[in-house]
Chains A and B, each alone.
Chain A
Amino acid sequence: MAAKSNAYMGSTTSLKQIDKSEKWLDALSDPLTSLYTFNSSIALSDLNGDGDSKLIVADLGTGTYQMKLKVFRGTSLMSENTLLDLPTGVVTFHMDTTEPRVPAIAVASGAYIYIYKNLRPYFKFTLPTLEVNPSEFDLWTQARDDLIDHATLYDTLDLLRKDVGAHCLTTRTQHLLMCRTPEERQTFIDAHKYFIVKKRTVITCITTMKKNMAEEDAVSCLVLGTESCQVYVLDPEAFTLLMNLHLPSVPSILTVTGMFDVEYRMLIACRNGKIYTAKRGMEEGRLTAELSSQPVGLERREKSFLVGCMDDNVYCFSNHGKLLWRLRLGASLLCMTTMELASHAQKLLLVSLSNGEIRTYQDRQMVDSFQLEHAANALRFGRFGREENVLLIVDQAGGLQVKILRRRAKFEPMETASALTAGKELKLNIPKKTKLFVDQTMRERDNSQSMHRIFQYNLYLLRLEAARQYVKSLQMSLTPVTTEEQPVRLAAQVLGLGPMFKIRVELQNTSALKIVQDLGIRVHADEKLYQVQRRFMHAPILIPGVTYVYDTLVEFVSDLGISDQVRVFITRGTQSRPILSAVINMPVAEVAVSA
């Protein structure tokens, strides 16, 4: 724990210089709005159709009381509606084609959807009741008729819960099972047993899907995920169920693209840490990706999707569920959202971390970061007021911040350091342990000493051989660079395709001051194969630093299709021992075309 908090401190200090981003203008920072809300309960929409986009927030109040639907216009609160229960999500959508074209607000809360039009309550939709588990139903009927006592009812229901899972039971049973003392149970049962037991599910997430037209203000259906592991699509005008999708677990985040009547694709992140896909015509979700922990956020990209998880990572999967990359955040992820910049055709990912940092990523590359005083609970990017690119932040202290993206701001990768860490994350493909592998390990463990000795012996032999060869080459001047007395570098190359080649010898005096004089260049080759035009060339003087070039023609004279080596020696004065030498491997000569 101590180490962890240290790590946090380390990261905050290193971020000091970037805690304010020059890309954003602070339009509003109100610490006193006391909003308690999450990403799913915020929406931006031009509610009055006057070109001035409003902020709609479903405020959870204290968490038990004071739940409100608030609408902000610019910097001030414009309207407030009391909500009866905790909201789980807010969306705005066009439910009909009547003029003027203003969107409605849908607030999901419990088993209901409250629709507001022109900021006034308009309609309440109730989810259909579900079939009660027959044994549960019988138990409650028997309790009503006083056929069983409270303890039996409680115990049998508890057994039933273990059998089918708590989510298959009614909320009444769930409540009962949560009562701790027998007295509490007794009062609860007495208060409820005369009412018929009903099973009602609760909405867990909500989103919208265009019905049959793609326009910005086209009519949209509501898409709901429920505690009963289902996804419903509602008709926007008649509020009838258009579709019912079954999932193996409770959906927690929904994203939809496409149109209901044409073709659509849903991505559903569930509480079991799995992601399912559903297309038009499917009755059940298809497993697409399995996560190692619970999802926090789900954002869709063109051919992939991004999932932020509780293990502080963001994963990118292809639409077919292949893991493309992973990004380590280094702090807990609170929420994430997409920042779409139409002017730059960019889709960036904004993440809020528990240490109060807001980071912007383009794919895996961090492109921006700034620090908040309190960590952000909710982030939303979009059109607000008359400004296109606005970021709204609701922090954990309840404050609302509005940041406007500067017109000239560009998001480009900040540094290559993140690229390095990206490299580090490459996963090695480690094969499974085979029998052979185990045998080898055993053998190595048993014979470690002798193996080490043999290895050392061979290593010494290798070093000895290398030293010998080195001495030999020094003695015979086989290297292309000479030592102290004659600081000359030799480079030889062969040009042409044959049968006529040109050998080009470059000599360079590598010393700073010393002048080298009276060198001879000898070109030696097998006379049966090559005819060298100038076997000897004289280099009278080499000035330090200058490269001297000497050429000679070499003709391949044999009719065998082979090639050989040509040696170049550098001698000095009348000494016959070369001071330098080079070996040129001649290419196989092409046959002369004219012949």
Chain B
Amino acid sequence: MGLFNTLATALGLRKREVNVIVVGLDNSGKSTILNHLKPDLERAADIVPTVGFNVERFKAQSLAFTAFDMSGQGRYRNLWEHYYRDCDAIIYVVDSSDKLRMVVAKDELDALLQHPDIRPRRIPLLFFANKMDLKEAMSSVKVTMMLGLEKMENKQFHICASNAITGEGLSDGIAWLTQAAEGRQSKT
């Protein structure tokens, strides 16, 4: 498989760049997740709330990801939609300990799914039910329910409970995303 991949790339048969947009409410842990996905040496020591957005790159298996780490603060959320058109996958991060704002997370997700650049596409959606280490955190099943994911149409999605600080659950999610993105690319 690995050999085949390298060969395929060398022959220019397969594009290996994937654009993902990372969205979710402020303080949900988007930047912390992306920080953990980077190689040890490039990791930032502390994470501050993102202003506007940042572009991060990381590699996972055969693919090179370009991630748009959007700010989740209310006043920057209208930036998200400008990146919908050119993205190949979406990572949606939810703070699973923030019960109060789960409705807001759902409202923003619904707006995303209804957007004309997203609605007609069968784009892979990866959900991180983040901060699973906190004692008031809800399970990923509860988060699935509260976001109404089972009613979602025309999308393939996957949800993992995660802890962005230790990196628990992240690789599972990214593995699914890699597979989904590869599947899509080989079809096109």
Contact = CB atoms under 8 A, between A and B. Distances in A.
Given A74-B98, A75-B100, A386 B75 contact: no
Interface residues of A, number: 19
A266 to B, nearest CB: 34
B72 to A, nearest CB: 10
B74 A27 contact: no
Given A76-B136, A343-B75, A388-B74, A404 B98 contact: no
Contacts of B108: 407
Given A25-B104, A404-B103, A407-B107, 18 more contacts: A25-B103, A27-B100, A27-B101, A27-B102, A27-B104, A28-B99, A51-B27, A74-B98, A74-B100, A75-B100, A76-B136, A385-B100, A386-B25, A386-B27, A386-B101, A402-B100, A407-B74, A408-B111
B26 interface: yes
A407 B98 CA distance: 18
Contacts of B155: none
A387 B104 contact: yes
Nearest to B72: A386
A161 B108 CA distance: 63
Contacts, number: 46
Nearest to A384: B100
A407 B100 contact: no
A26 interface: yes
B98 A385 contact: yes
A406 interface: yes
Contacts of A74: 98-100, 136
A25 B108 CA distance: 11
Interface residues of B toward A: which range?
10 to 19
Interface in A33-48: none
A72 to B, nearest CB: 10
Main secondary structure of the interface of A (DSSP, over half): strand
Contacts of A388: 74
Interface in A20-35: 25-28
A456 to B, nearest CB: 71
B76 to A, nearest CB: 11
Contacts of B99: 28, 74-75
Nearest to B74: A407
Interface string B71-91: 000110100000000000000
Interface in A73-124: 74-76
Interface in B37-88: 74-75, 77
B74 A404 contact: no
A404 B101 CA distance: 8
Nearest to B25: A386
A401 to B, nearest CB: 12
Contacts of A51: 27
A402 B27 CA distance: 20
